[in-house]
Amino acid sequence: MTDAETTPRTGKRVLLAKPRGYCAGVDRAVQTVEEALKLYGAPIYVRKEIVHNKHVVRTLEAKGAIFVEENEEVPEGATVIFSAHGVAPEVYEQAKERSLKAIDATCPLVTKVHHEARRFAQQDYDILLIGHEGHEEVIGTAGEAPAHIQLVDGPDSVDQVTVRDPEKVVWLSQTTLSVDETLETVARLKQRLPLLQSPPSDDICYATSNRQHVVKEIAPECDVVIVVGSRNSSNSVRLVEVALDAGARAGHLVDFAHEIDDAWLAGARTVGLTSGASVPDDLVQDVLAHLAERGFADVEEITTADERLTFSLPQELKRDMKAAAARG
């Protein structure tokens, strides 16, 4: 008999979302720092948080990673890793000026948006970048073509948009947005700019879309949805919003199980549980254990997609790993 079968049924249950947690881009970025530490030894410098998760950052710090805000904080000649969110071209130039060994851990799906931005700018398009002001990914993408890009921060900012030629305008987006809100923003933009072009393929990443989709499925049945993730994680914050929009009675974002307030569970029969794309699954397991202690031992995993995508490590790191292996 399994533990679940021997646990008395209380009528309280957890609907566990799948897919949840780590996406391919986050997995690659975290692995990049871990492999760099093994290969080059500590310290390894990382510009900005490698991914937006407190636990991941603390774990890597304990292994010898030093997180900095800017390249100027990295000693000349040292190794620096750029985060999964991507950087503007000027950041690469700054690294060269300081003779830094730069390893780019930008998620390939963010890199795709950077390529699109450069291509449309070369064709002299006005580019409307849908995203959140100040987010690292938006700063990096905008830096690819600052003269051509203007930020559209949600549907309410559409009225401020001005373009040179309404026949030569395209929209791109941050990869971690709410799918529904982005579609609403695009619809409003098209009311003003009927000839607005769309990106060749969806900019919102598969993992963001998949995590939002399964939350929409479970939310209507949930008294409360708990999202494991950090407050500076755009995709985690969006999951709480999506849950509430889809019918959950309440939604909360926590980094760790101990942050769950018992008052949230008072009177609840069904708790939904998911995690953002930068969250390791052991944090979700901690929440499941915490909920089980409070009578929510009946766990049903709801699966809406099977994610198999993986990304290879950055070329510069793979090359050095291969050389080190050849030396024996």
One-letter amino acid at 132 equals H
To the question of whether residue 222 is assigned a binding role by annotation, the answer is: no
Q: What would the two tokens of residue 133 be?
A: 């002001």
| Amino acid sitting at position 146 | P
Q: If you write DSSP's letter for every residue of 261-280 in order, what string do you get?
A: -HHHHTT-SEEEEEE-TT--
Give the number of other CB atoms < 10 A from CB of residue 202.
15
Structure tokens at 26: 């986050």
Omega of the bond leading into 43 within 30 degrees of 0 (cis): yes
Catalytic pick from 137, 144, 307, 316? 137
* 175 assigned to a ligand binding site: yes
- DSSP-assigned letters across all residues of 141-203: HHTTSTTTEEEE-SGGGGGG---S-TTSEEEEE-TTS-HHHHHHHHHHHHHH-TTPBPPSS--
CA 208 to chain CA centroid, Å, is 7
What residue type is 286 in one-letter code? D
Q: Which among 264, 267, 238 has a CA at the least distance from the CA of 250?
A: 264
Are the beta carbons of 279 and 239 closer than 8 angstroms?
no
* Pairing of β 13-18 and β 270-275: parallel
Task: Say whether 38 sits in a helix, a strand or coil.
Answer: helix
Task: Tell me how far apart the alpha carbons of residues 249 and 219 are, in angstroms, rounded to a whole number.
Answer: 8
Chain center to CA of 126: 26
- Asked whether residue 278 is marked as a ligand-binding residue, the answer is yes
* Tokens linked to 73: 């904080």
The annotation status of 23 as a binding-site residue, yes or no, is: yes
99 is in an annotated binding site: no
For residue 101, what are the β-bridge partners?
79
Annotation-wise, does 233 bind a ligand? yes
Q: Is 135 known as a binding-site position?
A: yes
Question: Rounded to whole angstroms, how far apart are CA atoms 36 and 38?
Answer: 5
Q: Name the residue among 160, 165, 276 with its Cα closest to residue 212.
A: 276
Q: 137 an active-site residue?
A: yes
Residues contributing to the annotated binding site for isopentenyl diphosphate: 52, 85, 135, 233-235, 278
Annotated binding site for dimethylallyl diphosphate: 52, 85, 135, 233-235, 278
Annotation: binding site: 23, 52, 85, 107, 135, 175, 205, 233-235, 278
Annotated binding site for [4Fe-4S] cluster: 23, 107, 205
Catalytic residue numbers read 137
